[in-house]
Every structure is written in structure tokens, then in C-alpha cells.
Chain A
Amino acid sequence: MHYQDFFFQAFIFLGAAVVTVPIIKKLGLGSVLGYLLAGVIIGPSVLGLVGYDADKVMHFAEFGVVLMLFVIGLELQPSLLWKMRRSIFGLGGLQVLITTIVIAGLALLFDFKINRAIAIGLILALSSTAIVLQTLTEKGMLQNPAGRSAFSVLLFQDIAVIPILAIIPVLAAMNGNINLADSELNQLTPMAALPAWMQLLVLVGVISLIVFVGRFVARHLFRLVAETGMHEVFTAMALLLVIGIALAMSKIGLSPALGTFLAGVVLADNEYRHELESTINPFKGLLLGLFFISVGASINFMLLIEEPLIIVGFLGLMIIVKFIILIILGRFFRLRKGYDFLFAFLLAQSSEFAFVLISFSQQNKLLDDRTSGLLLLMVALSMAISPLLLIFNEKAISPILTRRQNKIEYDDMETSDNPVIIAGFGRFGLVIGRLLLANKYKVTIIDHNPANIEVLRKFGFKLYYGDVTRPQVIEQAGIKHAKIVILSMAEYDEALKVADFIKKNYPQVKILARAKDIYHAFEFFKRNVNTVQQEVFDSAAELGEKALIHLGFSKYEAYRSIRTFKHHEKEVLLDLYALWKEDDNKFIQEARRFSEQLSEIMQTEKDYLIHEPDYAWNISAISDETESQNNEQKDGSKHK
């Protein structure tokens, strides 16, 4: 590629991303959608700034997926992976198997030959690792049940790509092109020519090598490089590692993504883990973005215009089939209360591997050009639709489910008459709940996370699953009989809404609130909620206390300093509140919020004088006076 050309292309891609993604983000949508849209805009169908060679970029950018799996591997301890084996092989295996069979069956109905039908089934059974994991990471959902299950399935699919690549030539051979198929396969994986036992041996050998290097050699290597103090060498080293593994994996016919994932897991308890992660992350992000853009750019809208019904029809059919199978499997594997829907919506699209598999099938003459073209378009469109499906789930499905589940919960639960209601039972509420339970108070809990609910019901809490901002939920939980309500939920505006509702309708109930920051606290003050706890202040102060001890303070001296600081903070807070109330310009940009808060606190801090509480224990004033007096004072003044 010509230099000029290259930079022009880079300029177009980067420009499109920089313009589109922030706009999409502002609209509250995920970055994936932004990249895809950017791709569509610069693609041949709209602006035509990049031609159909976008798929070349796509192949290069697929390396982003490899990097992503490496980073995910880094965050996954081997023991955790072992725990997930059931969902990886059970859930993942069944998903690939059943989806393949069903889609192949449908393809048969549409007059495809059996071998082609199976190939189409296999190709479409896979889901997009790139889109799903990017979305999960962005929304912080990797840890929730749906996220973890989706991850397991994707992991299995990554493994499954290898046998699928091996099966496609065999399927093609049923058309009578044995020789061609063999040579193609040989090109792709020279290893396929080896006997099966040799293949296995090489496989085990390479994987053991990765594990061995990761476990015992990498640490020393990283240290040597790190000691040079040159960050770019460390970056080079990290990239070298990932690229090396990816190459080795391709050589033996394994998915590079899977190989680097394995390497990531092996390095998960390495002390250079975070360094590696932060080094790789920007590359990962950029390449993934590039990848999504190229997917968007590769959507052939001409084909869509030519045969809209066929494409839309098949696309809809594919998504519905995948969705139904996923939701049934999800339920079978104990995903409940909306997680089943989330799981199914997450994985209902097709995979980036499909691009590879489709062109591979095409080369093997398994699929004709028209079918390949249609499939490629379907795959690209399904990936583009995927973020929209999730938005649909979030905005339309889950509110309905929540409402219905609330109803079910109401039916088998009478109104509670416990004196305490805790709204929001995450890490924060849990501590409060434990304390109250330990002091023999009966506690009612409202939370919208069903996973928490199931566990806690066993421990004697009275639990209501539901959205606390809805009046029925809080009334059902027994607000009428409650003495106090603790708003320990993490949601900023929702907490204020609940406070408003209670203040208006149940003014006799006392509200105790968790504030996310000082402005949140002020909002509560304004509503006459005066028992407000800033969520991280106390634990931070206490860690500060420990820091003072390590710096040489005696334990009691440190304790007193922290008490002084905390009382002082109360004064500062009230002072700032007074300022805040006067201030008409209350709207502070979300991003500026923290720094604004910081500078205001610091300023007030400077204006304040922390009075010396321990003056009385300071004997220097007394000894000065005693000396100067030369004992003329009465007895007893020496010490006091």
C-alpha cells in the first residue's frame, strides 16, 4: 500500500470513529454501535470513502479480538476457569450442537443439500466474541450470571472453530472435490497432513510450552525488560508475546484467540499482569474499533436493495431460531428473572468467525457465490443489529419482566410489618443488614437483583424483589409500619426519587441515606433527609488512620487525628451546603463534577482552621509557665 493511501485510510477510519462514537455514547448507546455506524457511513453505501477492500482491514483488525481475549484471560484465574467447565462444555456445547442441527434442518427445508445445510448451520451457530465481550465489559456485566454464561458459550465456540475448519473440507468433499479440499486444508493448516496422533502430540506440546513459558520463564523475562526502565520496550515485548502466540497457534491450526486467551490465563497471577493489561489495552481498543468499523463498511447494501425480502426474512429467522434455543438452554442452566433474556439477546447475532468460515467454504466450493454473499450480508447485519437488540431488551423486555415478577412476588407475600426497610442490598446494604440482624431487628429488604435475593432469603431477611422507585413495591414492603427506611441503593436519582415519595406520603418514617458524593448529600439535605452517609468517606478516613500509624503515629494519636478530621469534615460539609444552596447555577457537568467538588473542598479546607483538640495533653505550655514562675505557684501545678 502506498504511504499516502495508507495515511488517508487511517485518517478516514480514525476520523469516523472520533466523530461517531462520542455522539452515540452521548445518546446512551454502546460504543460498538457507534463504530458500526461509522463503518456504514464511510462505507461504499453512503460516502464511499473506503471501498470493498474494507475486508482487508477487517482481517487485520481481527487481531483486536485476539488481544481482547488475552486481556480477558489475564483477569481470569485458572481456578475460576476450572469452575466454569460445566457451563463452557455443557451450555456451550449444547448451544453449538442444537443450533447447528436446527439451522441445518431449516436449510434443508429451503432445498439446500445436506452438506451445505450442515455448513450453514455450523457457520451461523457461532456468536460474535468481539461484540458481546466488548458490550459486557463496557456495561460491567461480565460478572453477572448472564454475562458469565455468555462468556462460557463464546469460549466454547472459539474452541469449536478448529474442528469446524477441519469439517468444512470434508463436507465439501461430498460434492466430489476431494483433492481441492485437501490442498486447501493443507494450506490453512499444514498440520492436518500429519496423522491424528501426531497432531494431538503437537497440540499438547505447544500448549504445554505456553503454560511452561507463562509460568516459569515469563516472569524473569518481564523483569529483565522492566528493569531497563524503557516503557516502549515493555510494550514491544508484550506485543511480541501476543503476536508470537497467535502465529504459533495459527501454525498448528488452533484459533489464535484461544491461544492468547490461554496465555492470558497462565499469566493471570503474574506480578506484571496489570502492566501487561494496561499496555495491551489501547491496542486492543483501537483494533476492535477498527474491526467494528470494517464490519459496518462491509455491509453490502446493494445486495440488500436487490433482495430485501430474502435477506430480512432469513436474518429474522436466524435471530429468532438462535434466540429461542439460547433462552431454552439458559433456563435449563438456571438463568432466571431476566438473565435468560439478556443471555439470549446477547448471543443471538452471528460471529466474526463466520466471515472466515464463509470465505473458506466458498474457496472449497462448498457454497456458491450467491449463497456466500447472502450469508456474509446476514452475518454483518446481525452484528449491526445486535446492539439494538440489547437496547430493546433493556428498554422493553426487562421492565415488563420486572413488573410481572413483582406481581408474582406479591402474590405469595403478605405486607411486611418489620420496623426497618433497606432499599438496595449490595455491598453497602449488606453491612447494615448484618448489623441490624445481629442486634435482633427484623429487616425487610428491597432489591432489584434477583441473585442476591435468593441467597439472602435463606438467612432470615424478608425480601422483596422489585424496583423500589415504584410506589407499589415500597408499599408492599410495609412502609406504613416501618420506623426507618435505609436508602442504601447505588442509583443516584432513584434514591432521591424514593426519598421524595416517602417524605410526601409517609412523613413519619425516618430516612437514612447513602450519598454517592457531596452533591448527592446536599440533594438529600434539601429534602430534609438529614442522616446522610457519604459512601466512601469513612472507610477512606480509616485507611488514612492506618497510614498515619505506619508513618509513626501512636495508635491513639492516629485515632484522634481521624476523629478530628471527621468532625471537621462535618463542618466543611455544612459550609459547602450553605454555599450550594445560594448557588443558582446548580447544574454541574457530570465530568466536571468530581474536580469541581475537589477544588471546593480544598478551598474550604484552607479557609478553615482545624482547632487543636489535644491541646490539653500538650504539657509544654505548663512547663514553660512553671519554669518562669520559679515555684511561686501553689502545689500541684507542676503536673496540672
Chain B
Amino acid sequence: MKKILVIFAHPAIQKSKIHKRLTDSLKNLHGITVNDLYENYPDFYIDIVAEQQLLIEHDIIVWQHPFYWYSSPAILKEWFDLVLQHGFAYGLKGHNLEGKQVLSIISTGGNKEVYCKEGRNHFTINEFLVPFKQSAILCGMEYLPPYVIYGSHTLNNPDIEKQTTKYKKLLTGLRDGNWGSDQIESAQYFNDILE
């Protein structure tokens, strides 16, 4: 069984339709730790030592956040800048993260259709997520296909219910190693594997 660290960033959780329900559903799940960045570091003063320790203790790192301006909310970028230090995460002596897996879980306002060359946003999610992917690669980690929750503005209660079940299935599945590496490698998005 693998240990999962969900690094979660949402600056206005009280206004979030979906994320609060998702992370709440992880309570009491064995082997899954939620690290709410805005809750823990409201002043952006990230405790670097503690964060690095968390990374070392877990096998799968999840970056979970709403998709803001085709990227993450600000604190996650701050987390990258501070926690993924040279000498810890990369560089000649930085091998602490090697071999771990990384998964992006994001929610978008727009539907699946708008994220393609012909759509309103002109690029695919995978294209937008290139900086995250390359950051993972630089640290010697495996970047899993991202999991996307589309159209979060229009979700109603039953939708959220369904999303929550899928989300739990995803994280527990990863924890228990339910999917083979070839199955994962062949997928564009983790949504495809779950479907």
C-alpha cells in the first residue's frame, strides 16, 4: 500500500462547490494525508522543513486545486519555489523525491470541449500543465495523467455526489495499486482510466 499526500490549494474554500466535498470525503481514510496550504499558511509563510518531511514520508504526491488562469492558485507556486529546493528536490545532491509519482487533480469552469485547439481555450489541459509535468520530471518523479473535473460552475448536488465517489475511487485505487503501469502510461487523462 502506498502513502498519498494531497497538497491542496484553494484560497476561498467557503465558496468552493466541489473541493470542500472532495477533501472532506478523505477524512479517516487510511494512508491519505491532506495538506491544505491556504489553511496551514494563511500568511504564505510556508514551513519548508515540515513540507519537505511530508514529501519524504509519502509515495504519491497529489496537487489538487482549481484551474486559475490556466495554472494553480498562487500559494502552490510559492510552495514550488520554496519547498522544491535545489539540493533537496533536484541538483547533484537532490534525490529525495526520485521515484515518487505525481498526480494533478484540477477543476475547471469550462467544459471538456473548450480545452482543444478548436475550442475557446485553444490548448488542451495537458498542454497547459506542461510546467507541472516538467517540474516533476526535473525532480525525478513520474507525472501521472492528470484527473480533471470539468464544468465545476454548473455541477448540481447529484453530480457532486458522483464526482466525490469517483474521486475517492481514484485516490484509494492509487493507494492500493489498482492499475498497472501500462494502463496508466497509455492514458491521456486519468478520467479515461476511471471511465
Contacts and interface: CB of A to CB of B under 8 A. Distances in A.
Nearest to A612: B48
Given A563-B45, A567-B45, A629-B92, A636 B82 contact: no
Interface in B59-88: 81-87
A567 to B, nearest CB: 6
A616 B48 contact: yes
Interface in A596-640: 611, 613-617, 621-622, 625, 629, 634, 636-637, 640
A559 to B, nearest CB: 9
Interface in B31-49: 43, 45-49
B133 to A, nearest CB: 12
A563 B91 contact: no
Contacts, number: 42
B194 interface: no
A613 B45 contact: yes
Interface in B72-125: 81-87, 90-92
Given A611-B49, A616-B81, A621 B87 contact: yes
Nearest to A563: B45
A621 B45 contact: no
B86 A621 contact: yes
B134 interface: yes
A528 to B, nearest CB: 23
A625 B83 CA distance: 19
Interface residues of A, number: 18
B1 interface: no
Given A621-B86, A636-B138, A615 B48 contact: yes
Contacts of B49: 611
Contact of A625 (B82, B84, B92, B134): B92
A616 B82 contact: yes
Interface in B168-185: none
B86 A622 contact: yes
B96 to A, nearest CB: 14
Contact of B138 (A567, A613, A640): A640
A617 B91 contact: no
B51 to A, nearest CB: 11
B185 to A, nearest CB: 21
A625 B91 contact: yes
Contacts of A636: 134, 138
A614 B82 CA distance: 7
A402 to B, nearest CB: 41
Given A563-B43, A613-B45, A613-B48, A637 B90 contact: yes
Contacts of A613: 45-46, 48, 82
Nearest to B134: A636
Contacts of A615: 48, 85
Nearest to B47: A567
Contacts of B90: 637, 640
A40 B83 CA distance: 75
A629 B86 CA distance: 15
Given A616-B81, A617-B81, A625 B45 contact: no
A616 B86 contact: yes
Given A567-B45, A613-B45, A613-B48, A637 B85 contact: no
A567 B44 CA distance: 12
A406 to B, nearest CB: 40
Contacts of A621: 86-87, 91
A629 B90 CA distance: 14
B138 A625 contact: no
Nearest to B43: A563
A637 B84 CA distance: 13
Contacts of A560: 45
Contacts of B48: 611, 613, 615-616
Contacts of A611: 48-49
Interface in A530-586: 560, 563-564, 567
B91 A637 contact: yes
Contacts of A567: 45, 47
Nearest to A560: B45
Contacts of B87: 621
B193 to A, nearest CB: 29
Contacts of B85: 615-616
A625 B86 CA distance: 10
A617 B83 CA distance: 10
A622 B91 contact: yes
Chain B CB within 10 Å, residue with most, of A564, A636, A637, A640: A640
Contacts of B91: 621-622, 625, 637
Contacts of B45: 560, 563-564, 567, 613
A614 B85 CA distance: 10
* Interface-central residue, A564, A616, A621, A640, by most chain B CB under 10 Å: A616
Nearest to A611: B49
A555 to B, nearest CB: 14
Contacts of B84: 616
A334 B46 CA distance: 56
A616 B80 CA distance: 9
Interface in B101-158: 134, 138
A37 B103 CA distance: 83
Contacts of A617: 81-82
B144 to A, nearest CB: 21
A615 B134 CA distance: 22
B168 to A, nearest CB: 33
A625 B47 CA distance: 25
A636 B45 CA distance: 27
A609 to B, nearest CB: 11
Interface string A477-501: 0000000000000000000000000
A615 B47 CA distance: 12
B37 to A, nearest CB: 15
5 contacts: A560-B45, A613-B82, A614-B82, A616-B83, A625-B86
Given A636-B134, A640-B138, 9 more contacts: A567-B45, A567-B47, A616-B48, A616-B82, A616-B84, A616-B86, A622-B86, A625-B86, A625-B91
Ordered nearest first, which 3 A-B pairs have the shortest CB separation? Answer: A563-B45, A616-B82, A616-B85
